[in-house]
Amino acid sequence: MDSTSTSSSNSSNDSDSGEEAPMEEETLNDTVLDTIHEGSNLFERSKSIPLRLSDEERIFLRILEGGLEISEYTDKVDVTNSMYGAYWSMSISKKTHLIERELKELLGFLSGLYVANNYSVGGSLVSKDKRADFQVNEEIFQKIFEIGRRYKIMNPDKMRTTYGKLMYIVQDAIMPGIIDFDIKIPIKCVHQYLSEKNAVNILKEPDMVIATQCFTTAMDKEKVKLQTANKAAARNRLIEKYTSDNLTKNDINLILESLTDSNSYILANRNPVDMMIHYLRKYFSPDEEEREFSLQISYRVSGSCLSHNHSVQYEFVQQSLLLWREIQHEMFHLWLCADEDLLGKRSYNLEDTGQGLQRVQGAPAVGQAMSSILRRVQSKLRRWVGLSVVHLGDRDVPNALVFIDKYTQVPRILAPIVRTIERIDQLVHDPLCGQFIEEAGGAEYLKKKILCDYFKHGFDGSGDDGGSCIDGRLTSSWNWTSKIEKKDYYTIFLLCGFSGFDGSFKK
């Protein structure tokens, strides 16, 4: 079993002893996200930005989703003797036969859906001489599975019940001796697409930054109107300069929309982290401790597994949020690393990890990327509070799929908190809600109460054995969300439109 970890020489113990070192001044800069995202680094970023799906590819996506919905692949393949007794007592050859049978059944489903969608085109896919030979249609199946993987990266809230099944199917399909063709191809990204058309120089154009920016609802309407006009003009200049027989106007628009999608993703998912850092710095101070709103936590008090004084906890929370912020910014790259680890040449072991039956597999690409991100964050700090271990390929985080799923939860956890804090000011002006808020202590009091509770018990090591490691910080926050209904301020969350932290599992 592989386990990837990153340790730091400046890690401190989890106790509150010792003199606290202040944070570097450069980390205290304004973290509110600009609408233009690292334009100077666009050339490198484009290598991990997926290409937006075309209309034709969206048809293939619906076919794939239909096949995955009716497939029971993982229910039949991922089982062990200890759980299912003699019925599943099988040799490796029988297991391979089962995988092959279930995989071909899925490919048959997809073929049938393809024919149903367009018989004139799909009929040739299942003609009489091809019914038993999926290899002849290798390119179609490669395309279908690549589209599914690419779509999920761009839309992490989609395919929440089928993406894991998709990855495990492809993971088994590329094993030697299962099927007679390679079902996996690389995910299409912007840089690759432009390279094939000999047009990567467009990424170095200054107009690319303007043409792919996105806006927040908080921006001034007149400013948005002006920047929208500038954006359209920049796009027109790029189209006029680079349109050719090899790179059409539609191709350029596809590239621009893909890059804009990337910026929009960062804006939507990194902004909640930015806001929480802003709230931490606005309402709390590392040096001044308010008795009622102290961030101090003690081992075994209120479920805490750590002991930090106010200053250390402030630093611990801020470092965790800065790390999450960097992870959200690098999420596309981490998705591609996870895809590489899951569908690489490394085998997996099916084990009961205490979180159910999991495929335990090393994740060196994700581990290397996380080490780089962690070092970048630590380089801006004078010290690192707690452990800096990144769990991968072990019982805590069995594989890259579990890792990537955990960190897509960050905006789902933080966004409802940010939304509640922002809407409290609006509720104050409502006659009934305003009276309720005043009786509860006032708007500012409620904000600090909610934030104080989260900054304490969302980072207290609960829900994990260790608590202060990189994985444990997120697990603690998720554990806090499970107790939200028991909080005395839960009514405020409901009044602010709260419906849950986990989002929807439906399409």
Residue 456 lies in a domain: yes
Same domain, residue pair 339 and 423: no
In a domain, 18, yes or no: no
Q: Distance (Å, rounded) from C-alpha 70 to C-alpha 73?
A: 9
Nearest one of 309, 326, 232, 306 to 466, comparing CA atoms? 306
Tokens at residue 64, please?
Answer: 């794939």
Task: Tell whether 283 and 396 lie within a shared domain.
Answer: yes
Among 373, 404, 435, residue at a domain's last position: 404
CB atoms within 10 A of CB 61: 18
- 159 and 60 in a single domain? The answer is yes
- Residue bearing tokens 């990567």: 200
Give residue 182's pLDDT: 87
Distance CA 183, CA 146 (A): 9
**Is the CB of residue 376 less than 8 Å from the CB of residue 323?**
no
Q: Which of 353, 369, 404 is the last residue of a domain?
A: 404
Residue 120 has a pLDDT of 65
In a domain, 396, yes or no: yes
User: What's the CA gap between 221 and 226, in Å, rounded?
Assistant: 9
For residue 470, is it within any domain?
yes
Distance CA 197, CA 254 (A): 13
The answer to whether residue 445 is domain-embedded is yes
> Which residues are registered as beta bridge partners of 297?
308
Q: What is the pLDDT of residue 18?
A: 36
Q: Assess whether 144 and 258 both reside in one domain.
A: no
The reply to whether 67 and 139 lie within a common domain is yes
> Is 10 within the bounds of a domain?
no
Q: Are residues 46 and 195 in the same domain?
A: yes
Distance CA 417, CA 406 (A): 18
Residues 169 and 103 sit within 8 Å (Cβ to Cβ): yes
Number of domains in the chain: 4
The pTM assigned to this predicted structure is: 0.88
* Residues 395, 444 within the same domain: no
Last residue of a domain, one of 110, 140, 173: 173
CA–CA separation, 38 vs 36, rounded Å? Answer: 6
Residues 340 and 247 in one domain: no
Does 285 share its domain with 389? yes
pLDDT of residue 36: 40
**So what's the pLDDT on residue 233?**
97
Domain shared by 268 and 288, yes or no: no
pLDDT, one tens digit for every residue, the chain (507 residues): 444 444 443 434 343 333 333 444 333 333 333 434 444 588 899 999 999 999 999 999 999 999 999 999 998 888 854 433 334 444 566 788 889 899 989 998 888 888 887 766 656 665 545 444 677 788 889 999 999 999 999 999 999 989 999 999 999 999 887 888 889 999 999 999 999 999 999 999 999 999 998 877 777 888 888 989 999 999 999 999 999 999 999 999 999 999 999 999 998 999 999 999 999 999 999 999 898 999 999 998 988 999 999 999 999 999 999 999 999 999 999 999 999 999 998 889 988 888 888 999 999 999 999 999 999 999 999 999 998 989 899 988 999 999 999 999 999 999 999 999 999 999 999 988 999 999 999 999 999 999 999 999 999 998 665 578 998 899 999 999 999 999 999 999 999 999 999 876 555
Could you tell me if residue 222 is inside a domain? yes
What is the chain's mean pLDDT, rounded? 85
On whether both 75 and 130 belong to a single domain, the answer is yes
Q: Which domain holds residue 327?
A: 25-34+279-404
